[in-house]
Copies of this chain bind each other. A is one copy, B any other.
Amino acid sequence: MSSNKNSKVDPRIIRTKRMFKEALISLLEENVDKSKLTVQSIADRAELNRATFYLHYRDIEDLMEQIIEEVLAEMSNTITPSPVNQQSIGKGNRASGSRLISFLEHIHQNAGLYQVLLENKEFRKRVFGILLDIVSLWGEDRKAKGRSFKVPNEIIVSSSLGIVSWWLAEGTPYSSSYLAKQIVRMV
């Protein structure tokens, strides 16, 4: 799905971009302070030349944005699995409620990365949008059953995001299912 066999992308490009991305992520996860996060340090970590960086990215921010796009795509796939390998676990529509758990599970398994990325304003905005979709669907489900949320969806989403950020900052002290329970309880 992501890149079929007919793609004529030079394998060197794929390898190089992957290495720069992994390099930046590893540096970010090590909490390298901003002043030492230079193109040179990223190139060193990637074991590539500094000039090569500029063949693929405008600047560090550009690389960051591309990483964000990939991570968001992965997140969306995790929450809403592609129709092909949909596990269709009976129970009719598993969509709304349990998506929150999928979301938290996915974040839990990439805690270090998400802790760093959630510092990024644009990333938070995008995740907010994804969460808002989940909560909206969920809200419609509840509405159909006669129950409804007591507070606006945006408040549910922003508070959930706040909880997740704290959860990550504290080293994910609770399991994702317990956290989901607490969030649901608050709604």
Interface residues of A (CB under 8 A from B): 119, 121, 128, 150-152, 154-155, 157-163, 165-167, 170, 182, 185-187
Output the least CB separation between A110 and chain B (Å). 19
A159 touching B151, Cβ below 8 Å: no
Given A119-B121, A121-B119, A186-B186, A159 contacting B154 (CB threshold 8 A): no
* Residues in B neighbouring A150, C-beta threshold 8 A: 185-186
Whole-angstrom distance between the alpha carbons of A120 and B51 in the complex? 32
Q: Which residue of B lies closest to A173 (CB)?
A: B154
Whether B151 and A162, one on each chain, are in contact in the complex, defined by CB atoms closer than 8 angstroms, is no
Q: Which of B151, B160, B162, B170 contacts A185 (CB 8 A)?
A: B151
When distances are taken between beta carbons in the complex, the residues of chain B under 8 Å from A163 are 155, 158-159, 162
Closest to A187 in B: B186
Q: Is the CB of A154 within 8 A of B166?
A: yes
- Residues of chain B lying within 8 A (CB to CB) of residue A158: 162-163, 165-167
Contacts of A187 in B (CB 8 A): 186
Bound together, the chains give a CA A94 to CA B77 distance in angstroms of: 49
Q: How far is the CA of A155 from the CA of B150 in the complex (A)?
A: 18
Pick the 3 closest A-B CB pairs, nearest first.
Answer: A162-B162, A158-B166, A159-B159
**Contact yes or no, B119 A151, CB < 8 A:** no
A166–B124 alpha-carbon span in the complex (Å): 10
> CA of A10 to CA of B157 in the docked complex: distance in angstroms?
50
Residue of B nearest to A161 (CB): B162
Q: What residues on B are CB-neighbors of A151 within 8 Å?
A: 182, 185-186
Contact A186 B162 (CB under 8 A): no
Q: How far is the CA of A186 from the CA of B167 in the complex (A)?
A: 18
Expressed in whole angstroms, the Cα–Cα distance for A150 and B161 within the complex equals: 19
State the CA gap A151–B162 with chains docked (Å).
15
- CB neighbours of A128 from chain B (8 A): 166
